[in-house]
């Protein structure tokens, strides 16, 4: 038991899938896992452990933003022994050749700052995905006929961004999309010798202002769960 997770030791699997939304964790656990068991509900942040093709998996919400994800990922890694952490989430596209519904595998995650800034201080550390997970996820996405992009993303501290000039620089430097969690996940994984990946679906487009209809979100989320599971247990 930790300040934010009530699971007993041993109730969390070494492989943890992390959607932002706790209700997506519940949906994914019920849709994809055998024998899902609720292992956390502190503050309404839901976590479930079950099996997929005989492999133990935990699906646990991260909340929104790097400070929230950092709390859960820290406790999952240091107190419960999580070794592979895969974020599944939405993102806003920043390139013309990236479309709503496309899958983005975040090879790197740039940021202005993360909760690890206090440790890294003047070092501009380059948070990057685990190569094995990235390769396996790309193969899994291609096998599903998803339109998939692999490249750099931007992890922002703000959803309601008031720096259009910064977004222009991101686009100019080839950043595929913006979301709010991956950079800290990658930094924590590097610090603790874990594997991490962010699998994202484009939910809105910053250049065209197109948005994924709410009715399509469950389908695209399910695709991400399958890609994450296949990458984790390739």
Report the nearest approach of ligand HPA to the CB of residue 31 (Å). 22
CB atoms within 10 A of CB 164: 9
Q: Across the strands, what pairs with 58?
A: 16, 49
Report the nearest approach of ligand HPA to the CB of residue 78 (Å). 27
Interface positions, 112-151, toward ligand HPA (CB under 6 A): none
- For ligand HPA, which residue of 111, 156, 201, 220 counts as binding (CB under 6 A)? 156
Report the nearest approach of ligand HPA to the CB of residue 124 (Å). 21
- For ligand HPA, which residue of 102, 179, 184, 226 counts as binding (CB under 6 A)? 179
Catalytic residue selected from 41, 157, 161, 204: 204
Size of the site for ligand HPA (CB under 6 A): 10
How far apart are the two ends of the chain, measured CA to CA in Å? 31
Q: Does 178 bind ligand HPA (CB under 6 A)?
A: yes
Interface positions, 188-207, toward ligand HPA (CB under 6 A): 203-204
Token representation of residue 166 = 């910064």
Reported as half-sphere exposure (CB side, CA atoms, 13 A), residue 101 has a value of 9
Helix (H) or strand (E) run with residue 171 in it: helix 164-172
Nearest to 57 by CA among 102, 19, 23: 19
159 Cα distance to chain centroid: 16
Report the nearest approach of ligand HPA to the CB of residue 234 (Å). 27
Q: Does 102 bind ligand HPA (CB under 6 A)?
A: no
- The answer to whether 102 is a known catalytic residue is no
Tell me the three state secondary structure of residue 107.
Answer: strand
Q: Does 62 bind ligand HPA (CB under 6 A)?
A: no
Reported as half-sphere exposure (CB side, CA atoms, 13 A), residue 186 has a value of 28
Stretch binding ligand HPA (CB under 6 A), from 118-126, 131-139, 175-183, 223-231: 175-183
Nearest to 178 by CA among 208, 202, 199: 202
Q: Which residue number, 138 or 181, has a Cβ lying nearer to ligand HPA?
A: 181
Contact residues for ligand HPA, defined by CB under 6 A: 90-92, 156, 159, 178-180, 203-204
């Amino acid at each position: 038991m930790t300040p934010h997770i009530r699971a007993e030791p041993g109730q969390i699997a070494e492989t943890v899938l992390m959607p932002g939304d706790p209700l997506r964790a519940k949906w994914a656990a019920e849709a994809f896992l055998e024998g899902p068991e609720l292992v956390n509900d502190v503050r309404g942040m839901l976590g479930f452990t079950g099996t997929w093709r005989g492999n133990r998996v935990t699906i646990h919400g991260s909340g929104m933003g790097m400070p929230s994800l950092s709390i859960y990922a820290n406790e999952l890694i240091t107190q419960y022994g999580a070794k592979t952490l895969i974020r599944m989430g939405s993102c806003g596209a920043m390139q013309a050749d990236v479309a709503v519904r496309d899958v983005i595998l975040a090879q790197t995650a740039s940021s202005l700052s993360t909760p690890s800034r206090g440790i890294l201080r003047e070092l501009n550390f380059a948070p990057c995905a685990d190569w094995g997970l990235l390769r396996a996820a790309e193969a899994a996405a291609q096998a599903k006929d998803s339109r998939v992009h692999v490249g750099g993303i931007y992890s922002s501290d703000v959803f309601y961004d008031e720096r259009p000039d910064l977004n222009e620089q991101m686009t100019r430097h080839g950043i595929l999309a913006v979301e709010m969690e991956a950079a800290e996940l990658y930094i924590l994984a590097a610090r603790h010798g874990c594997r991490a990946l962010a699998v994202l679906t484009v939910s809105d487009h910053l250049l065209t202002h197109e948005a994924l209809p709410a009715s399509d979100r469950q389908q695209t989320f399910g695709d991400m769960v399958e890609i994450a599971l296949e990458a984790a247990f390739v």
